[in-house]
Amino acid sequence: MLNDKTVLVTGGTGSFGQKFTQLALERYKLRRLIIFSRDELKQFEMRSRFPEEKYREIRYFIGDVRDKERLHRALDGVDIVVHAAAIKQVPAAEYNPLEAIKTNILGAANILDVAIDRNVEKVIALSTDKAANPINLYGATKLCSDKLFVAANAYSGNHRTKFSVVRYGNVVGSRGSVIPFFLKMKKTGTLPITDSRMTRFWITLEQGVQFVFTCLDKMQGGEIFVPKIPSMNIMDLAAALAPECKHEFVGIRPGEKLHEVLVPEDDARRTLELRDFFVIQPELNFWEKKGKYLLGAKPCPDGFTYSSDRNKEILSIDHLQSMMRNGGDFESQFQNLVPPSSD
């Protein structure tokens, strides 16, 4: 799929970008892999892990998705774009709303315009559970971005460029995740808990990257792909990570939900279920050619919603504690529980 391809990753120095780089270099023979990001320090640090002297196919581009001219230069000769750049911290987006809009919405518009002009083959954008029925600005900007990428398939006309979206939940161990936060607070003897009823979807970085590989291979353009991943209650997570700690209930923060949703009820009527993932189909008239991978897919029933509190796959305290005992590498243990396959 990626052999002899030129791939560009926006936000490539982030957690996802670095894992994508690692796995892509291990599994494929790329022509070029372009890391596109705006932070020179993070690129310097990433160079120490993936030096150009060892990985001759890798390139580092300083740039911002807000800068259309720079994107036009960076996408010269690119076959595949993985769009991971975003302002994603909820409080930062609420306090700096125009900055979130410029990056998450206008930056997305720049990506699709330049990708069409540069005749890119495929573009896949990373979304979030917060884009489904959003209640904060970050989720609203990502919902708008999702709709831009879906509609871009009609916008591209006779060009070959296809656009799709991957939407998944919280990433285990990523920057800002509750898991490293709880492990840090464990030393104090007290864990701050928002609400004892709260649930969240969980996925590892490797699972997320593998799912992107799968979707790049299958995409026809216009799909929103949603993996089937496990959920966990916040109290079970706290008990598994720090059973000896006391709990301080601080209340749900502004912009947070009690439970997260990946497939809202209103989207269920056009959602198909496969063994390992869901596909939210577009309503626009360009959606004519359905991929062979959808043969045998089942329409979701009326009233269906894929939410973290109604999920069939639930992580238990025993599961997490067992994973922590068996090696200590939380991510590598977690990914073996319910891995989205390439089926």
- Burial of 102 (C-beta count, 10 Å sphere; 0-12/13-18/19+): middle
Q: Where are the chain's structural domains?
A: 6-169+202-229+261-307
Give the pLDDT confidence score for residue 321 in this predicted structure. Answer: 61
Residue 122 near residue 219, CB atoms below 8 Å: yes
Query: Residue 221 above 90 pLDDT?
Result: yes
Query: Residue 64 above 80 pLDDT?
Result: yes
Give the pLDDT confidence score for residue 173 in this predicted structure. Answer: 61
What does 15-35 look like in DSSP terms, one character per residue? HHHHHHHHHHHHH---SEEEE
Question: Could you tell me the two tokens for 162?
Answer: 């296809």
Residue 135 to residues 39, 43, 143: CA-CA distances in angstroms? Answer: 29, 33, 11
Query: Residue 21 above 50 pLDDT?
Result: yes
Query: Residue 61 above 70 pLDDT?
Result: yes
Q: Rounded CA gap, 23 and 206, in Å?
A: 8
* Structure confidence at residue 227 as a pLDDT band (50, 70, 90): very high
Query: Residue 236 above 80 pLDDT?
Result: yes
Q: Work out the angle at residue 137's Cα, subtended by the Cα atoms of residues 134 and 142, and round it to the nearest 5 degrees.
A: 65
CB atoms within 10 A of CB 47: 16
DSSP assignment letter at 310: S
DSSP helix/strand/coil, 122: strand
Q: Rounded CA gap, 169 and 131, in Å?
A: 10
The predicted model gives 308-333 an average pLDDT of 66
The predicted model gives 278-289 an average pLDDT of 82
The predicted model gives 207-219 an average pLDDT of 95
The predicted model gives 158-168 an average pLDDT of 94
Question: Could you tell me the two tokens for 143?
Answer: 């919902």
Place of tokens 């089926």: 343
**pLDDT tens digits, residue range 72-109?**
999 999 999 999 999 988 889 999 999 999 999 999 99
DSSP helix/strand/coil, 173: coil
* Structure confidence at residue 259 as a pLDDT band (50, 70, 90): very high
The predicted model gives 249-265 an average pLDDT of 90
* Structure confidence at residue 325 as a pLDDT band (50, 70, 90): low
Question: Could you tell me the two tokens for 217?
Answer: 């291979």
Give the pLDDT confidence score for residue 140 in this predicted structure. Answer: 97
Question: Could you tell me the two tokens for 73?
Answer: 């230069």
Give the pLDDT confidence score for residue 315 in this predicted structure. Answer: 79
**pLDDT tens digits, residue range 121-160?**
999 999 999 999 999 999 999 999 999 999 999 988 888 9
Question: What residues form DSSP beta bridges with 234?
Answer: none
The predicted model gives 179-188 an average pLDDT of 84
* Structure confidence at residue 334 as a pLDDT band (50, 70, 90): very low
- State the CATH architecture for 6-169+202-229+261-307: 3-Layer(aba) Sandwich (3.40)
What does 209-232 look like in DSSP terms, one character per residue? HHHHHHHHHH--SS-EEEE---EE
54 is catalytic: no
Where on the phi/psi map is residue 156: left (φ > 0), alpha (ψ -120 to 50), or beta? alpha
Based on its alpha-carbon atoms, the radius of gyration of the chain, rounded to whole angstroms, reads: 20
Polymer length in residues for the chain: 343
* Structure confidence at residue 289 as a pLDDT band (50, 70, 90): low
Give the pLDDT confidence score for residue 343 in this predicted structure. Answer: 36
What number of H helices and E strands is found in the chain? 13, 17
- Burial of 15 (C-beta count, 10 Å sphere; 0-12/13-18/19+): middle
Q: Rounded CA gap, 7 and 27, in Å?
A: 14
* Structure confidence at residue 40 as a pLDDT band (50, 70, 90): very high
Question: Could you tell me the two tokens for 313?
Answer: 């796959």
Of the given ranges (145-154, 313-322, 327-336), which has the lowest mean pLDDT? 327-336
CB atoms within 10 A of CB 109: 16
The predicted model gives 217-243 an average pLDDT of 91
CB atoms within 10 A of CB 111: 27
**Global pTM exceeds 0.95:** no
Of the given ranges (27-36, 53-62, 88-97, 317-326), which has the lowest mean pLDDT? 317-326
Give the pLDDT confidence score for residue 284 in this predicted structure. Answer: 81
**List 42, 130, 218, 228, catalytic entry:** 130
Residue 57 near residue 217, CB atoms below 8 Å: no
The predicted model gives 48-54 an average pLDDT of 93
Q: What is the largest CA-CA distance in the chain?
A: 61
Residues 6+ apart with CB under 8 A from 83: 10, 11, 65, 108, 111, 123, 124, 125, 126, 149
Q: Rounded CA gap, 331 and 335, in Å?
A: 6
Give the pLDDT confidence score for residue 101 in this predicted structure. Answer: 98
Query: Residue 337 above 80 pLDDT?
Result: no
* Structure confidence at residue 342 as a pLDDT band (50, 70, 90): very low
- Across the chain, mean pLDDT equals 89
